[in-house]
Structure 1
Amino acid sequence: MKWKIGSLEIHTRPCQKSDKDFVLGLIKKTLFSYVAKYYKPSVKMFDDRFAKDYKERKILLRGKRRIGFFQLKKVNKKLIINGLFLSPNYQGKGIGKFIMTYFEKFAHKNKLKNIELQVWDNNPAKDFYKKNGYKIVLRKNHKYTMSKEIK
């Protein structure tokens, strides 16, 4: 996929095993501080998960530079966002909002009823999702499940 977001041209490609260090580095940079409030983040757990599901991820690129990644899964009549991560230098530029809108169009086109994601309760991304129409439908331990109905 190729997108023009403001003055930025972004495209995607499938995640490869060679992206592991980039993906882990971005997760460490953007998520581990929230997780660390409750648990010691586990690199081994990440390694195991990456080996199992890296093919489900898409890498976001600006030119040849990797700037983020996302992971989606269709389950029943839901689109599950298993992750949307952007490098800090690319946050606040409309990329996340654009991609979330793309996810909504994808869900609508595929006749999915809603989009669901999980976010740590101390992660400011929760407010981003709320602004984009997502509602908290469940709180379990330190995570919120958020959902948006697709019409």
Structure 2
Amino acid sequence: MIYRTRHATDDDLAFSRDLTCRNMLRYYIYHNLLWQDEAFDAGWQYRENWMIVQDETLIGFFSLSQDARALYIRELQIEQAWQGQGAGCWAIDQVVEMARQARRPALRLTVFDNNPAQKLYARKGLRIMGRDECFLRMQLDLSTAVL
């Protein structure tokens, strides 16, 4: 499969919010957390958002923020029909390259502790650096080779 990214626009907000809710609601329910569209929308405004496209079909997105210590993946969502076909792996590779270009020493993300995506992140070299109530904090030191 050949994927590409494009900068997200305001017109992509509804797609991204709905995709995130569909993909993540089961984890919110399992951990007794409340999904709030308003919280997603507020975060969207302050992040660097990228759409993942295959041919002309939107299949997902990722949302980033950064500081001097790291580039942070705030969201990485792939449509269920496209999961397991390499899009998530490809997206992580794109973000790693963005972090290297921005000269960030690390790539970081947080994932629900029962989300199988953590296995993908581990395969891509991210290591568990800490745990919260229901989250794992993972990091890739960018001096480490990426698989």
Tell me which of 65, 83, 89 is aligned to 2:57. 65
Matches within 5 A, 1:50-129: 50=44, 52-53=45-46, 56-129=48-121
Q: Quick one: distance in 2 between partners of 1:106 and 1:48?
A: 23
Within the alignment, does 1:20 sit opposite 2:13 as a pair?
yes
Cα distance in 1 for residues equivalent to 2:63 and 2:38: 20
**CA distance in structure 2 between the aligned counterparts of 1:49 and 1:71, rounded to whole angstroms:** 9
1:40 is displaced (CA, Å) by 2.4
TM-score (norm 1): 0.84
What residue identity is the alignment partner of 2:137?
T
> C-alpha distance in 1, partners of 2:16/2:96?
24
Task: Determine the C-alpha separation between the residues in 2 that align with 1:17 and 1:107.
Answer: 24
Q: Distance in 2 between matches of 1:117 and 1:98?
A: 16
Q: Displacement, 1:33? A: 0.9
Report how far residue 103 of structure 1 moved.
2.2
CA-based RMSD of the aligned residues comes to: 1.7
Note if contact 1:35-1:120 (Cα within 8 Å) is conserved in structure 2: no
Shift of 1:148: 1.0
Structure 1 residue matching 2:30: 3-state secondary structure = coil
Q: How far off its partner does 1:42 sit? A: 1.7
- In 2, distance between residues paired with 1:77 and 1:108? 12
**Cα gap change, 1:100/1:48 in structure 2, threshold over 3 Å: closer, same or farther?**
closer
**Structure 1 gap ranges (5+):** 1-7
2:40 to 22, 36, 46: 46
Measure the CA separation in 1 of the matches of 2:35 and 2:104: 33
TM-score of the two chains, using structure 2 as the length reference: 0.86
Greater strand fraction, Structure 1 or Structure 2: 1
| Further displaced range: 20-29 or 106-115 | 106-115
